[in-house]
Amino acid sequence: MAQFVSLQDAVRDVMSDGLCVALEGFTHLIPHASAHEIIRQGFKNLTLVRMTPDIIYDQMIGMGCASKLIFSYAGNPGVGLLRRLRDAVENQWPVPLEIEEHSHAAMANAYEAGAAAMPCALFRGYLGAELKQVNPNIKMISCPFTGEALAAVPSIRPDVSFIHAQKADRKGNILIEGIIGIQKEAVLSAAKSVVTVEEIIDEFDTHPNAVILPHWTIDYIAEVPGAAHPSYAQGYYARDNSAYKEWDILSADRDLFLKWMAEHVMQQTPDVFAKRAQFTNPQSTGQGDSCDE
């Protein structure tokens, strides 16, 4: 049953060192505030799961939270590479990082299978792809009817999943609209879930087939306006594309990175996100200034 709490309390209650944790959001609704709170509370040895590690995992990895990463695309989308992740993989800085790498199709199927409580996912994938030579968690099995070789991967079942959504109602039901990504699966595949929302409203007035997660599938809800910034929340604020471009520079150097994290993450609270996002509302795209407030 969903409890309304502060993000600090949710992270404190649900997290511990060594857990398998997914923070999801496919470009849209990326839970930046949750990532920052996990970093601030100093959790270590996490197995991080995410299709597109993106800035949030670059930050968590660079701050030494993770010992393993399960992923399918480790880039800063449209900008370039993830420099903290590279430093961990190439130079074991700040700590060694084991990786388990998949394709998007495999991860999407694995989350779907996790939400369906299956032990594995089956799909027609990895044909000719070398990943299956380097990842022992990719196996080929035969269709029992046609004999066709199909790819199998273990389902994803995180200990905790974090997502960001537009709205909760007072009962604790969650509404996600727009690019819905893999968030429903992230929550349903996890043992526990934490959802940050832009706002809490009395009652939804939406389409009968809108993506809604009932209150009994959610453990903690924290109202954190702007929590996705510099990602975006459809209907609230736009993607702060400049922040993504700036990250490429800020993350290139270890000292610059640490200095930036100290100032913009370690010395902050979740409240800071409301201010960061207010300059990028959809009606005034191009006004944000997240990285240098």
Partner 1 sequence: MNSHAEKNEFTSDEMMTIAASRMLKSDDVCFVGIGAPSAACNVARLSHAPDITLIYESGTIGTAPDILPLSIGDGELCDTALTTVSVPEMFRYWLQGGRITIGFLGAAQIDKFGNINTTVIGDYHNPKTRMPGGGGAPEIASQAGQIYITMKQSLRSMVPKIDFFTSYGHGNGYDDRQKLGIKTTGPTVLITDLAIWKPHPETKEFIVTNLHAGVSKEDVQAHCGWEVTFSKQITTTPLPDATELNVLRELHKRTNAAHQRI
Length of the chain in residues, anyone? 293
Q: Name the token pair of 163.
A: 């997502």
Q: SS3 string of the chain?
A: CCEECCHHHHHHHHCCCCCEEEECCCCECCCHHHHHHHHHCCCCCEEEEECCCHHHHHHHHHCCCEEEEEECCCEECCCEECHHHHHHHHHCCCCCCEEEECCHHHHHHHHHHHHCCCCEEEECCCCCCCHHHHCCCCEEEECCCCCCEEEEEECCCCCEEEEEEEEEECCCCEEECCCCCCHHHHHHHCCEEEEEEEEEECCCCCCCCCEEECHHHCCEEEECCCCCCCCEECCCECCCHHHHHHHHHHCCCHHHHHHHHHHHHHCCCCCHHHHHHHCCCHHHCCCCCHHHC
Which positions from 3 through 62 interact with partner 1, judged by CB under 8 A? Answer: 26-28, 51-52
Cβ proximity to partner 1, 127 vs 266, nearer residue: 127
For residues 118 to 157, the per-residue mask of contacts with partner 1, x marking binding by CB under 8 A and - elsewhere, is x----xxxxxxxxx--x-------------xx--------
Residue 282 found at the interface with partner 1 (CB under 8 A): yes
Residue 79 found at the interface with partner 1 (CB under 8 A): yes
- For residue 184, what are the contacts with CB-CB under 8 A and spacing of at least 6? 115, 176, 211, 213
Which positions from 175 through 204 interact with partner 1, judged by CB under 8 A? Answer: 178-182, 184-185, 188
Type of residue numbered 46:
L
Q: Of 6-14, 59-67, 174-182, 263-271, which part binds a copy of itself (CB under 8 A)?
A: 174-182
Residues 152, 145: contact at Cβ < 8 Å? no
**Residue 78 partner contact from a copy of itself, partner 1, none using kind-dependent CB cut-offs of 5 to 8 Å:** partner 1
Neighbours of 194 (CB within 10 A): 29
Least distance to partner 1, CB of residue 74, Å: 5
Phi, psi dihedral angles at 47 (to 5 degrees): -95, 115
Which positions from 205 through 234 interact with a copy of itself, judged by CB under 8 A? Answer: 206-211, 234
Of the residues 122, 131, 188, 252, which one makes contact with a copy of itself according to CB under 8 A: 122
Least distance to a copy of itself, CB of residue 110, Å: 11
**Residue 120 partner contact from a copy of itself, partner 1, none using kind-dependent CB cut-offs of 5 to 8 Å:** a copy of itself
For residues 207 to 226, the per-residue mask of contacts with partner 1, x marking binding by CB under 8 A and - elsewhere, is -xxxxx-x-xx---------
Q: Of 12-20, 37-45, 78-86, 192-200, which part binds partner 1 (CB under 8 A)?
A: 78-86
Least distance to a copy of itself, CB of residue 43, Å: 27
Cβ proximity to partner 1, 47 vs 72, nearer residue: 72
Which positions from 123 through 162 interact with a copy of itself, judged by CB under 8 A? Answer: 123-124, 137, 139, 141, 143-146, 148, 150, 152, 154
**Residue 143 partner contact from partner 1, a copy of itself, none using kind-dependent CB cut-offs of 5 to 8 Å:** a copy of itself
Contact residues for a copy of itself (CB under 8 A)? Answer: 116-120, 122-124, 137, 139, 141, 143-146, 148, 150, 152, 154, 177-178, 180, 206-211, 234
